[in-house]
Protein backbone atom coordinates (compact mmCIF):
# COMPACT_ATOMS: atom_id res chain seq x y z
CA UNK A 1 0.00 0.00 0.00
CA UNK A 2 1.38 3.46 -0.83
CA UNK A 3 2.35 5.24 2.38
CA UNK A 4 0.09 8.19 1.65
CA UNK A 5 -2.98 5.95 1.28
CA UNK A 6 -2.87 4.54 4.80
CA UNK A 7 -6.42 5.84 5.22
CA UNK A 8 -7.34 2.48 3.70
CA UNK A 9 -6.33 0.85 6.98
CA UNK A 10 -9.19 2.44 8.96
CA UNK A 11 -11.48 -0.54 9.66
CA UNK A 12 -15.04 -0.58 8.33
CA UNK A 13 -14.36 2.55 6.27
CA UNK A 14 -14.10 3.28 2.57
CA UNK A 15 -12.39 6.57 1.77
CA UNK A 16 -13.68 8.08 -1.46
CA UNK A 17 -10.54 9.14 -3.33
CA UNK A 18 -9.81 9.73 -7.00
CA UNK A 19 -9.32 5.98 -7.53
CA UNK A 20 -12.72 5.14 -6.01
CA UNK A 21 -14.24 8.04 -7.91
CA UNK A 22 -12.99 6.61 -11.23
CA UNK A 23 -14.30 3.16 -10.27
CA UNK A 24 -17.72 4.49 -9.32
CA UNK A 25 -18.10 7.25 -11.88
CA UNK A 26 -21.15 5.91 -13.74
CA UNK A 27 -22.72 4.51 -10.58
CA UNK A 28 -22.55 7.91 -8.91
CA UNK A 29 -23.75 9.72 -12.04
CA UNK A 30 -26.68 7.26 -12.21
CA UNK A 31 -27.55 8.30 -8.64
CA UNK A 32 -27.48 11.97 -9.69
CA UNK A 33 -30.03 11.19 -12.41
CA UNK A 34 -32.53 10.45 -9.63
CA UNK A 35 -32.76 14.13 -8.75
CA UNK A 36 -35.91 14.59 -10.84
CA UNK A 37 -39.36 13.20 -10.00
CA UNK A 38 -39.73 11.90 -13.54
CA UNK A 39 -36.55 9.80 -13.40
CA UNK A 40 -37.39 8.48 -9.94
CA UNK A 41 -40.76 7.31 -11.25
CA UNK A 42 -39.24 5.51 -14.20
CA UNK A 43 -36.57 3.91 -11.98
CA UNK A 44 -39.20 2.60 -9.59
CA UNK A 45 -41.35 1.37 -12.48
CA UNK A 46 -38.56 -0.95 -13.72
CA UNK A 47 -35.26 -0.84 -11.82
CA UNK A 48 -33.48 -3.35 -14.03
CA UNK A 49 -34.41 -1.59 -17.27
CA UNK A 50 -33.34 1.80 -15.88
CA UNK A 51 -30.01 0.40 -14.65
CA UNK A 52 -29.40 -1.36 -17.97
CA UNK A 53 -29.55 2.01 -19.73
CA UNK A 54 -26.41 3.07 -17.81
CA UNK A 55 -22.86 1.82 -18.56
CA UNK A 56 -22.63 0.08 -15.18
CA UNK A 57 -20.74 -3.09 -14.33
CA UNK A 58 -23.02 -6.01 -13.44
CA UNK A 59 -21.62 -5.96 -9.86
CA UNK A 60 -22.76 -2.36 -9.53
CA UNK A 61 -26.27 -3.10 -10.77
CA UNK A 62 -26.55 -6.17 -8.55
CA UNK A 63 -25.44 -4.19 -5.48
CA UNK A 64 -28.38 -1.82 -6.00
CA UNK A 65 -30.87 -4.54 -6.81
CA UNK A 66 -29.76 -6.37 -3.63
CA UNK A 67 -30.01 -3.09 -1.62
CA UNK A 68 -26.41 -3.83 -0.59
CA UNK A 69 -24.78 -0.48 0.16
CA UNK A 70 -21.49 -2.04 1.28
CA UNK A 71 -21.16 -3.66 -2.14
CA UNK A 72 -22.12 -0.39 -3.82
CA UNK A 73 -19.38 1.42 -1.87
CA UNK A 74 -16.82 -1.25 -2.78
CA UNK A 75 -17.84 -0.65 -6.40
CA UNK A 76 -16.95 3.06 -6.11
CA UNK A 77 -20.25 4.46 -4.86
CA UNK A 78 -20.14 7.36 -2.43
CA UNK A 79 -22.72 7.77 0.31
CA UNK A 80 -23.83 11.29 -0.73
CA UNK A 81 -24.53 10.07 -4.26
CA UNK A 82 -26.08 6.81 -3.06
CA UNK A 83 -28.34 8.85 -0.76
CA UNK A 84 -30.21 10.02 -3.89
CA UNK A 85 -30.87 6.38 -4.71
CA UNK A 86 -31.83 5.69 -1.08
CA UNK A 87 -34.20 8.66 -1.03
CA UNK A 88 -35.85 7.28 -4.17
CA UNK A 89 -36.59 4.08 -2.20
CA UNK A 90 -37.82 6.15 0.76
CA UNK A 91 -34.78 5.45 2.97
CA UNK A 92 -33.37 7.93 5.49
CA UNK A 93 -29.63 8.39 6.07
CA UNK A 94 -30.04 6.52 9.36
CA UNK A 95 -31.66 3.56 7.61
CA UNK A 96 -28.98 3.57 4.93
CA UNK A 97 -26.07 3.81 7.40
CA UNK A 98 -27.60 1.15 9.65
CA UNK A 99 -28.08 -1.22 6.73
CA UNK A 100 -24.30 -1.44 6.30
CA UNK A 101 -23.55 -2.54 9.88
CA UNK A 102 -25.12 -6.00 10.09
CA UNK A 103 -27.59 -4.70 12.67
CA UNK A 104 -31.34 -4.47 12.44
CA UNK A 105 -32.83 -1.02 12.01
CA UNK A 106 -33.98 -1.05 15.65
CA UNK A 107 -30.60 -2.21 16.99
CA UNK A 108 -28.81 0.55 15.08
CA UNK A 109 -31.25 3.20 16.26
CA UNK A 110 -30.85 2.01 19.87
CA UNK A 111 -27.06 2.12 19.55
CA UNK A 112 -27.22 5.73 18.35
CA UNK A 113 -29.62 6.70 21.13
CA UNK A 114 -27.11 5.24 23.61
CA UNK A 115 -24.29 7.46 22.38
CA UNK A 116 -23.28 5.87 19.07
CA UNK A 117 -20.54 3.39 18.18
CA UNK A 118 -17.40 3.62 20.31
CA UNK A 119 -14.05 4.27 18.66
CA UNK A 120 -12.60 1.65 21.06
CA UNK A 121 -12.15 -1.52 19.03
CA UNK A 122 -12.62 0.43 15.81
CA UNK A 123 -9.15 1.92 15.42
CA UNK A 124 -6.44 1.06 12.90
CA UNK A 125 -4.30 -1.98 13.62
CA UNK A 126 -1.15 -0.08 14.57
CA UNK A 127 1.18 -2.98 13.82
CA UNK A 128 -0.02 -2.88 10.22
CA UNK A 129 0.33 0.93 10.13
CA UNK A 130 3.89 0.77 11.47
CA UNK A 131 4.77 -1.90 8.91
CA UNK A 132 3.44 0.40 6.16
CA UNK A 133 5.60 3.26 7.48
CA UNK A 134 8.67 1.02 7.71
CA UNK A 135 8.32 -0.11 4.09
CA UNK A 136 9.63 2.94 2.23
CA UNK A 137 11.07 1.12 -0.79
CA UNK A 138 10.75 3.35 -3.87
CA UNK A 139 8.86 1.79 -6.79
CA UNK A 140 11.06 -0.46 -8.97
CA UNK A 141 9.92 1.47 -12.04
CA UNK A 142 8.38 4.89 -12.36
CA UNK A 143 7.17 7.48 -14.84
CA UNK A 144 9.60 10.16 -16.03
CA UNK A 145 9.23 13.70 -17.30
CA UNK A 146 11.17 13.52 -20.55
CA UNK A 147 10.73 17.06 -21.88
CA UNK A 148 8.89 20.35 -21.66
CA UNK A 149 7.29 21.92 -24.72
CA UNK A 150 6.15 25.54 -24.86
CA UNK A 151 3.92 26.98 -27.54
CA UNK A 152 1.31 29.60 -28.34
CA UNK A 153 -2.20 28.27 -28.99
CA UNK A 154 -3.75 30.88 -31.30
CA UNK A 155 -7.12 29.64 -32.70
CA UNK A 156 -6.38 31.12 -36.15
CA UNK A 157 -3.47 28.63 -36.42
CA UNK A 158 -5.97 25.79 -36.01
CA UNK A 159 -8.26 27.38 -38.61
CA UNK A 160 -5.31 27.74 -41.05
CA UNK A 161 -4.56 24.01 -40.66
CA UNK A 162 -8.21 22.98 -40.93
CA UNK A 163 -8.77 25.08 -44.06
CA UNK A 164 -5.58 24.06 -45.86
CA UNK A 165 -3.89 27.49 -45.66
CA UNK A 166 -0.56 26.45 -44.17
CA UNK A 167 1.33 27.12 -47.43
CA UNK A 168 -0.05 30.66 -47.84
CA UNK A 169 2.64 33.38 -47.54
CA UNK A 170 1.07 34.73 -44.34
CA UNK A 171 1.11 31.31 -42.61
CA UNK A 172 4.19 29.61 -44.08
CA UNK A 173 6.69 31.21 -41.67
CA UNK A 174 4.55 30.17 -38.69
CA UNK A 175 4.35 26.53 -39.71
CA UNK A 176 8.02 26.38 -40.72
CA UNK A 177 8.80 27.14 -37.10
CA UNK A 178 7.11 23.87 -36.11
CA UNK A 179 8.72 21.55 -38.69
CA UNK A 180 11.45 20.62 -36.22
CA UNK A 181 8.85 19.88 -33.53
CA UNK A 182 6.96 17.36 -35.66
CA UNK A 183 10.15 15.45 -36.49
CA UNK A 184 11.33 15.63 -32.86
CA UNK A 185 7.99 14.25 -31.65
CA UNK A 186 8.19 11.25 -33.98
CA UNK A 187 11.60 10.46 -32.47
CA UNK A 188 10.65 11.25 -28.88
CA UNK A 189 7.04 10.19 -28.69
CA UNK A 190 5.73 10.27 -25.11
CA UNK A 191 3.11 7.94 -23.65
CA UNK A 192 1.31 10.89 -22.12
CA UNK A 193 1.28 14.67 -22.61
CA UNK A 194 0.35 16.68 -19.53
CA UNK A 195 -1.03 19.68 -21.37
CA UNK A 196 -1.30 22.98 -19.47
CA UNK A 197 -3.67 25.39 -21.19
CA UNK A 198 -6.47 27.78 -20.43
CA UNK A 199 -10.06 27.22 -21.35
CA UNK A 200 -11.43 30.30 -23.13
CA UNK A 201 -15.02 30.53 -21.80
CA UNK A 202 -15.76 27.14 -23.40
CA UNK A 203 -16.01 24.36 -20.80
CA UNK A 204 -16.13 26.90 -17.96
CA UNK A 205 -18.42 29.89 -18.12
CA UNK A 206 -19.28 32.33 -15.35
CA UNK A 207 -21.24 29.69 -13.45
CA UNK A 208 -17.96 28.18 -12.25
CA UNK A 209 -14.47 29.71 -12.18
CA UNK A 210 -11.95 27.15 -10.94
CA UNK A 211 -8.30 28.22 -10.71
CA UNK A 212 -6.66 24.87 -11.52
CA UNK A 213 -8.56 22.06 -13.26
CA UNK A 214 -7.11 18.58 -13.70
CA UNK A 215 -8.81 16.38 -16.28
CA UNK A 216 -9.26 12.93 -14.71
CA UNK A 217 -11.61 11.64 -17.42
CA UNK A 218 -11.16 8.98 -20.09
CA UNK A 219 -11.94 11.15 -23.15
CA UNK A 220 -12.40 14.78 -24.13
CA UNK A 221 -14.21 15.87 -27.32
CA UNK A 222 -13.07 18.96 -29.24
CA UNK A 223 -15.44 21.82 -28.39
CA UNK A 224 -17.63 23.85 -30.72
CA UNK A 225 -16.45 27.43 -30.07
CA UNK A 226 -18.95 28.92 -32.47
CA UNK A 227 -17.35 27.88 -35.77
CA UNK A 228 -18.18 24.17 -35.33
CA UNK A 229 -15.81 21.69 -33.65
CA UNK A 230 -12.32 21.48 -35.18
CA UNK A 231 -12.06 18.37 -37.42
CA UNK A 232 -9.45 16.78 -35.17
CA UNK A 233 -9.42 13.38 -33.47
CA UNK A 234 -10.97 12.94 -30.03
CA UNK A 235 -8.56 13.15 -27.13
CA UNK A 236 -7.95 10.13 -24.89
CA UNK A 237 -7.12 10.87 -21.27
CA UNK A 238 -5.13 8.79 -18.79
CA UNK A 239 -7.47 8.48 -15.78
CA UNK A 240 -5.08 6.35 -13.70
CA UNK A 241 -2.09 8.68 -13.97
CA UNK A 242 -4.38 11.70 -13.58
CA UNK A 243 -5.84 10.23 -10.37
CA UNK A 244 -2.32 9.68 -9.04
CA UNK A 245 -1.32 13.25 -9.94
CA UNK A 246 -4.50 14.58 -8.28
CA UNK A 247 -3.68 12.70 -5.11
CA UNK A 248 -0.06 13.87 -5.04
CA UNK A 249 -0.73 17.54 -5.90
CA UNK A 250 -3.59 17.93 -3.44
CA UNK A 251 -1.45 16.31 -0.73
CA UNK A 252 1.15 18.95 -1.65
CA UNK A 253 -1.49 21.64 -0.89
CA UNK A 254 -2.48 22.54 -4.47
CA UNK A 255 -6.26 22.69 -4.33
CA UNK A 256 -7.40 21.36 -7.68
CA UNK A 257 -10.78 21.03 -9.30
CA UNK A 258 -11.08 17.54 -10.78
CA UNK A 259 -13.13 17.25 -13.93
CA UNK A 260 -14.18 13.95 -15.49
CA UNK A 261 -16.18 15.36 -18.38
CA UNK A 262 -15.43 18.45 -20.43
CA UNK A 263 -14.87 19.52 -23.98
CA UNK A 264 -11.53 21.09 -24.84
CA UNK A 265 -11.04 24.21 -26.92
CA UNK A 266 -8.31 25.66 -29.15
CA UNK A 267 -6.07 26.12 -26.11
CA UNK A 268 -5.56 22.35 -26.11
CA UNK A 269 -6.20 21.23 -29.69
CA UNK A 270 -4.01 23.80 -31.49
CA UNK A 271 -0.81 22.75 -29.65
CA UNK A 272 -1.61 19.09 -30.46
CA UNK A 273 -1.97 19.97 -34.17
CA UNK A 274 1.24 21.99 -34.15
CA UNK A 275 3.29 19.26 -32.49
CA UNK A 276 1.77 16.15 -34.11
CA UNK A 277 0.45 17.51 -37.42
CA UNK A 278 -2.69 16.48 -39.25
CA UNK A 279 -3.21 12.92 -37.93
CA UNK A 280 -6.04 10.36 -37.87
CA UNK A 281 -5.56 9.74 -34.15
CA UNK A 282 -3.39 11.54 -31.58
CA UNK A 283 -0.33 9.35 -30.97
CA UNK A 284 -0.52 9.48 -27.16
CA UNK A 285 -2.80 10.09 -24.20
CA UNK A 286 -3.35 13.63 -22.96
CA UNK A 287 -4.06 14.88 -19.45
CA UNK A 288 -5.61 18.36 -19.75
CA UNK A 289 -4.75 20.91 -17.06
CA UNK A 290 -6.65 24.19 -17.22
CA UNK A 291 -5.47 27.36 -15.46
CA UNK A 292 -7.83 30.28 -15.01
CA UNK A 293 -6.22 33.31 -16.68
CA UNK A 294 -9.53 34.85 -17.75
CA UNK A 295 -11.01 36.26 -14.52
CA UNK A 296 -8.81 37.96 -11.95
CA UNK A 297 -7.32 37.09 -9.59
CA UNK A 298 -5.32 34.59 -11.60
CA UNK A 299 -2.51 32.49 -10.09
CA UNK A 300 0.93 34.08 -9.85
CA UNK A 301 3.89 32.92 -11.90
CA UNK A 302 5.48 31.74 -8.67
CA UNK A 303 2.47 29.59 -7.74
CA UNK A 304 2.53 28.06 -11.22
CA UNK A 305 6.26 27.42 -10.95
CA UNK A 306 5.84 25.71 -7.57
CA UNK A 307 2.97 23.68 -8.98
CA UNK A 308 5.31 22.51 -11.75
CA UNK A 309 7.85 21.33 -9.18
CA UNK A 310 5.14 19.41 -7.34
CA UNK A 311 3.91 18.02 -10.65
CA UNK A 312 7.33 16.54 -11.37
CA UNK A 313 7.33 14.75 -8.00
CA UNK A 314 3.80 13.53 -8.71
CA UNK A 315 4.66 12.13 -12.14
CA UNK A 316 7.93 10.56 -11.01
CA UNK A 317 6.25 8.74 -8.14
CA UNK A 318 3.81 6.93 -10.45
CA UNK A 319 4.84 3.27 -10.55
CA UNK A 320 4.65 2.65 -14.30
CA UNK A 321 7.50 3.35 -16.75
CA UNK A 322 5.62 6.02 -18.70
CA UNK A 323 7.32 8.79 -20.66
CA UNK A 324 5.55 12.06 -19.95
CA UNK A 325 6.00 15.42 -21.64
CA UNK A 326 4.71 18.54 -19.91
CA UNK A 327 3.51 21.27 -22.26
CA UNK A 328 2.99 24.90 -21.30
CA UNK A 329 0.81 26.78 -23.78
CA UNK A 330 -0.65 30.22 -24.47
CA UNK A 331 0.97 33.60 -25.10
CA UNK A 332 3.18 35.19 -26.17
CA UNK A 333 2.45 38.92 -26.14
CA UNK A 334 -1.06 39.75 -27.29
CA UNK A 335 -4.01 41.92 -26.36
CA UNK A 336 -7.40 41.07 -27.82
CA UNK A 337 -9.40 43.94 -26.33
CA UNK A 338 -9.80 47.70 -26.11
CA UNK A 339 -7.88 50.56 -27.78
CA UNK A 340 -4.61 48.81 -26.87
CA UNK A 341 -5.52 45.67 -28.94
CA UNK A 342 -2.68 44.42 -31.15
CA UNK A 343 0.06 45.12 -28.61
CA UNK A 344 3.21 43.10 -29.35
CA UNK A 345 6.46 43.36 -27.37
CA UNK A 346 9.27 41.46 -29.11
CA UNK A 347 11.91 42.53 -26.63
CA UNK A 348 9.91 41.46 -23.61
CA UNK A 349 8.89 38.14 -25.23
CA UNK A 350 12.47 37.26 -26.10
CA UNK A 351 13.71 38.24 -22.66
CA UNK A 352 10.94 35.96 -21.30
CA UNK A 353 12.28 33.06 -23.41
CA UNK A 354 15.86 33.77 -22.25
CA UNK A 355 14.85 33.83 -18.61
CA UNK A 356 12.58 30.81 -18.97
CA UNK A 357 15.65 28.85 -20.05
CA UNK A 358 18.28 30.38 -17.77
CA UNK A 359 16.54 31.90 -14.77
CA UNK A 360 13.08 30.37 -14.30
CA UNK A 361 13.02 30.94 -10.55
CA UNK A 362 13.74 34.65 -11.09
CA UNK A 363 11.18 34.83 -13.90
CA UNK A 364 8.59 33.31 -11.57
CA UNK A 365 8.85 36.46 -9.41
CA UNK A 366 7.55 38.73 -12.21
CA UNK A 367 4.20 40.19 -11.02
CA UNK A 368 0.94 40.08 -12.99
CA UNK A 369 1.07 43.79 -13.67
CA UNK A 370 4.25 43.43 -15.69
CA UNK A 371 2.71 40.72 -17.90
CA UNK A 372 -0.31 42.91 -18.61
CA UNK A 373 1.66 46.13 -19.11
CA UNK A 374 4.46 44.65 -21.22
CA UNK A 375 2.81 41.65 -22.94
CA UNK A 376 -0.84 42.77 -23.16
CA UNK A 377 -3.89 41.64 -21.25
CA UNK A 378 -3.86 38.16 -22.82
CA UNK A 379 -0.07 37.89 -22.45
CA UNK A 380 -0.88 36.80 -18.88
CA UNK A 381 -1.33 33.31 -20.36
CA UNK A 382 2.45 33.01 -20.15
CA UNK A 383 2.30 32.25 -16.42
CA UNK A 384 1.22 28.76 -17.53
CA UNK A 385 4.62 28.16 -19.13
CA UNK A 386 6.12 28.25 -15.65
CA UNK A 387 4.24 25.06 -14.73
CA UNK A 388 6.01 23.14 -17.50
CA UNK A 389 9.34 24.77 -16.65
CA UNK A 390 8.96 23.88 -12.96
CA UNK A 391 8.70 20.20 -13.92
CA UNK A 392 12.23 20.09 -15.36
CA UNK A 393 15.22 18.27 -13.86
CA UNK A 394 17.54 21.26 -13.41
CA UNK A 395 15.07 22.92 -11.04
CA UNK A 396 15.50 20.36 -8.27
CA UNK A 397 19.12 19.65 -9.16
CA UNK A 398 18.42 16.08 -10.27
CA UNK A 399 19.66 16.67 -13.81
CA UNK A 400 20.16 19.09 -16.66
CA UNK A 401 18.14 20.44 -19.53
CA UNK A 402 18.97 20.83 -23.20
CA UNK A 403 17.41 23.44 -25.47
CA UNK A 404 16.39 21.50 -28.58
CA UNK A 405 14.49 24.20 -30.44
CA UNK A 406 13.54 27.88 -30.13
CA UNK A 407 11.26 29.85 -32.42
CA UNK A 408 9.63 33.28 -32.39
CA UNK A 409 7.46 34.95 -35.01
CA UNK A 410 5.08 37.90 -35.35
CA UNK A 411 2.17 37.76 -36.11
CA UNK A 412 -0.39 34.98 -36.02
CA UNK A 413 -3.64 36.91 -35.99
CA UNK A 414 -3.22 39.32 -33.02
CA UNK A 415 -0.45 37.35 -31.37
CA UNK A 416 3.30 36.83 -31.18
CA UNK A 417 4.06 33.12 -31.56
CA UNK A 418 6.70 31.57 -29.31
CA UNK A 419 7.87 27.97 -29.16
CA UNK A 420 10.54 26.15 -27.20
CA UNK A 421 11.49 22.52 -26.63
CA UNK A 422 13.55 21.60 -23.58
CA UNK A 423 14.70 18.04 -23.02
CA UNK A 424 15.22 16.65 -19.54
CA UNK A 425 18.45 14.83 -18.81
CA UNK A 426 18.18 13.49 -15.27
CA UNK A 427 21.46 12.39 -13.69
CA UNK A 428 20.09 9.34 -11.88
CA UNK A 429 17.35 6.85 -12.44
CA UNK A 430 15.76 7.60 -9.06
CA UNK A 431 12.45 9.44 -8.92
CA UNK A 432 12.45 13.16 -8.07
CA UNK A 433 12.63 13.48 -4.28
CA UNK A 434 10.02 15.02 -2.04
CA UNK A 435 11.32 18.29 -0.61
O1 LIG B 1 -4.75 36.31 -31.83
C2 LIG B 1 -5.88 35.80 -31.78
O3 LIG B 1 -6.68 35.91 -32.69
C4 LIG B 1 -6.25 35.01 -30.56
C5 LIG B 1 -7.59 34.76 -30.30
C6 LIG B 1 -7.95 34.00 -29.18
C7 LIG B 1 -6.95 33.51 -28.34
O8 LIG B 1 -7.25 32.76 -27.27
C9 LIG B 1 -5.62 33.78 -28.61
O10 LIG B 1 -4.69 33.29 -27.73
C11 LIG B 1 -5.26 34.53 -29.73
User: Which domains are assigned to the chain?
Assistant: 6-134 (1.10.700.10), 144-434 (3.40.830.10)
Helices (H), 299-426: 301-316, 346-358, 360-363, 368-375, 385-390
Q: Whose CA is nearest to atom 7 of ligand 1?
A: 154
User: Which of 413, 416, 418, 419 has most ligand 1 atoms within 8 Å of its beta carbon, as the pocket-test mutant?
Assistant: 413
- pLDDT at residue 81 is higher than 80: yes
How much is the ipTM here?
0.98
Phi and psi at residue 255, in whole multiples of 5°?
-85, 105
- Quick check: is 114 catalytic? no
Helices (H), 7-125: 18-23, 25-32, 37-45, 47-52, 58-65, 69-74, 79-88, 93-99, 105-113
Query: What's the maximum distance between 2 C-alpha atoms anywhere in the chain?
Result: 82
Q: Whose CA is nearest to atom 9 of ligand 1?
A: 154
Helices (H), 163-292: 172-176, 179-187, 239-251, 266-276
Residues in the chain: 435
Q: Strand, coil or helix: what is 325?
A: strand
Q: Whose CA is nearest to atom 1 of ligand 1?
A: 414
User: What element of type H or E holds 138?
Assistant: none
Q: Which residues line ligand 1 (CB under 6 A)?
A: 154-156, 200, 334, 336, 378, 413-415
What is the CA(167)–ligand 1 centre distance, in A?
21
Q: Give the model's pLDDT for residue 132.
A: 83
What is the CA(334)–ligand 1 centre distance, in A?
8
Average pLDDT over residues 108-123: 96
What is the CA(276)–ligand 1 centre distance, in A?
20
Q: Give the model's pLDDT for residue 140.
A: 82
Task: Summarize pLDDT for 194-252 with one digit per residue, the tens.
Answer: 999 999 999 999 999 999 999 999 999 999 999 999 999 999 999 999 999 999 999 99
Q: Whose CA is nearest to atom 10 of ligand 1?
A: 154
Which ligand 1 atom lies nearest to the CA of residue 414? 1
Q: Give the model's pLDDT for residue 135.
A: 74
The CB density around residue 235, as the number of other CB atoms within 10 Å, is 24
pTM to 2 decimal places: 0.93
Distance between CA atoms of residues 300 and 304, nearest Å: 6
**Is residue 76 within 8 Å of residue 24, measured between CB atoms?**
yes
Which ligand 1 atom lies nearest to the CA of residue 153? 10
Catalytic residue among 238, 244, 266, 290: 266
What is the CA(157)–ligand 1 centre distance, in A?
9
Q: Give the model's pLDDT for residue 430.
A: 58
Q: Give the model's pLDDT for residue 323.
A: 98
What is the CA(415)–ligand 1 centre distance, in A?
7
Confidence of residue 131 (pLDDT cuts 50, 70, 90): confident
- pLDDT at residue 74 is higher than 90: yes
Q: Give the model's pLDDT for residue 39.
A: 98
Helices (H), 235-345: 239-251, 266-276, 301-316
User: Which of 153, 197, 291, 336 has most ligand 1 atoms within 8 Å of its beta carbon, as the pocket-test mutant?
Assistant: 336
Task: Give every CB contact of residue 83 below 8 A, 6+ residues apart in sequence.
Answer: 31, 93, 96
Confidence of residue 429 (pLDDT cuts 50, 70, 90): low
- pLDDT at residue 116 is higher than 50: yes
Confidence of residue 95 (pLDDT cuts 50, 70, 90): very high
Q: Whose CA is nearest to atom 11 of ligand 1?
A: 154
Task: Summarize pLDDT for 152-180 with one digit per residue, the tens.
Answer: 999 999 999 999 999 999 999 999 999 99
When the pLDDT of each residue in the chain is averaged and rounded to a whole number, the result is 95
Confidence of residue 432 (pLDDT cuts 50, 70, 90): low
What is the CA(207)–ligand 1 centre distance, in A?
23
Average pLDDT over residues 128-155: 89
User: Which of 414, 416, 417 has most ligand 1 atoms within 8 Å of its beta carbon, as the pocket-test mutant?
Assistant: 414
Find out whether the peptide bond into 25 is cis, omega within 30 degrees of 0.
no
Q: Give the model's pLDDT for residue 435.
A: 46
Q: Give the model's pLDDT for residue 175.
A: 98
- Quick check: is 334 catalytic? yes
What is the CA(92)–ligand 1 centre distance, in A?
52
Amino acid sequence: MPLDKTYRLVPGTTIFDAEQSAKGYHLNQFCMSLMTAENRASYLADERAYLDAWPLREEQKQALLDRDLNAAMREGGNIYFLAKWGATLGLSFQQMAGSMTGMTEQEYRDMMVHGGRSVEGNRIDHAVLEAAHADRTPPAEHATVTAAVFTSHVPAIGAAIDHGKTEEPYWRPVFEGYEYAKQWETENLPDVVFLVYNDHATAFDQSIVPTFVLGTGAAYPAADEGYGPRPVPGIDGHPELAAHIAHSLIRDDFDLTLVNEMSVDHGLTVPLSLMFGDVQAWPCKVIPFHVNVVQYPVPSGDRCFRLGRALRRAIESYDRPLKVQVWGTGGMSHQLQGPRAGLINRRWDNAFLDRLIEDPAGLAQVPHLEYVEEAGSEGIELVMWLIARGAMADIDGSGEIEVKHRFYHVPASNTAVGHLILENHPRAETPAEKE
